[in-house]
Amino acid sequence: MYHPFKMLLTVAGLLASVFSPAAAQSPLESLQTADANRGWEAVGRLNFGPDGFCTAALITSDVVLTAAHCLYDPASGAMVNPAEIEFQAGLRNGRAEAYRGIRRVVVHPDYDFSDLTQLNRVGSDLALLELDQPVRLGHVRPFRTQVRVEAGQTVQVVSYGKNRAEAPSREGECQILARDNEVLVLSCEVEFGSSGAPIFAVYEDEIRIISVVSAKARWEGQEVSLAAVMEGELDILIGEFARTPALETVGKRVAVDRTVYTAATE
């Protein structure tokens, strides 16, 4: 798989690993109060058992979008049991707007967790999760998606992360630094737990999701974040979701050498 800027881009690791934050263009704003979080309630924490978490966002009342790599155990390569996942919409200071279990997990069909060429994984690092019950609250409004984006465009990110896991934080202004047909390079700040966080852009006065956070890297001497270009890829994922019966989990189950994986992601 060829990337025009591949020689200049070194992937430092998927966000399942802990690392220092990437350079940001605006400070993170903690959304700890109801006023600060108004309009962002559809962003939530995706919990995996007692310890792990990613970020996800509602795109319909009963479907959330996140990063595919969140759904895999880095030690075994096995997919996480959906029964161990909980979506907490708008979680702030120990209380969420809604708590939902997961009844179906669908990973992009081209995503291969066992591919240690991590840049190859970013372009399909997308997954949809169906909730066990819709979130039908008037103030929790799912986000629409917008797949066409360009280098130089200003975006924003709302995410949970290490040392800020109890409330979302918003970076109100970062940029798409470069893109090819598969990968976006962004200046947005990311850290452990930010995987799957929605990346937003404004279209006709409406906030829409243009991708989700996948990884961090170094590009032209600076720390950056990476995300999939969703043009075409989101349609493929939605098609896979439509073909998958409820109560099923679809994704490649792979065996991963833990030593190799750790070395590749640190």
CATH number at residue 189: 2.40.10.120
Low-confidence ranges of the chain (pLDDT < 50): 1-8, 12-24, 252-266
Give domain status of residue 266, yes or no. no
Domain-located, residue 242? yes
From 123, 221, 211, select the one nearest 174 (Cα to Cα).
Answer: 211
Could you list the residue range(s) of the whole structural domain that residue 31 is in?
Answer: 6-261
pLDDT digits (tens, 9 = 90+) for 145-165: 988 899 999 999 999 988 899
pLDDT of amino acid 8: 44
| Per-residue pLDDT at 249 | 60
Cα 41 from Cα 89, distance rounded (Å): 6
User: In angstroms, rounded to a whole number, what is the distance separating the alpha carbons of residues 174 and 158?
Assistant: 12
Dihedral sign, CA of 1, 145, 165, 173?
positive
Residue corresponding to tokens 């598969």:
182
% of the chain residues with pLDDT over 70: 82
Q: What is the pLDDT of residue 64?
A: 98
Return the pLDDT at 247: 61
Sequence-distant contacts of 180-183: CB under 8 A, at least 24 apart: 180/3, 180/4, 180/5, 180/229, 181/123, 181/229, 182/1, 182/3, 182/122, 182/123, 182/228, 182/229, 183/3, 183/9, 183/119, 183/122, 183/123, 183/226, 183/227, 183/228, 183/229
Has residue 1 been placed in a domain?
A: no
Q: What is the pLDDT of residue 120?
A: 80
Beta-sheet pairing, 249-250 with 198-203: unpaired
The pLDDT value given to residue 89: 98
Q: How many domains does the chain have?
A: 1
Residue 232 belongs to a domain? yes
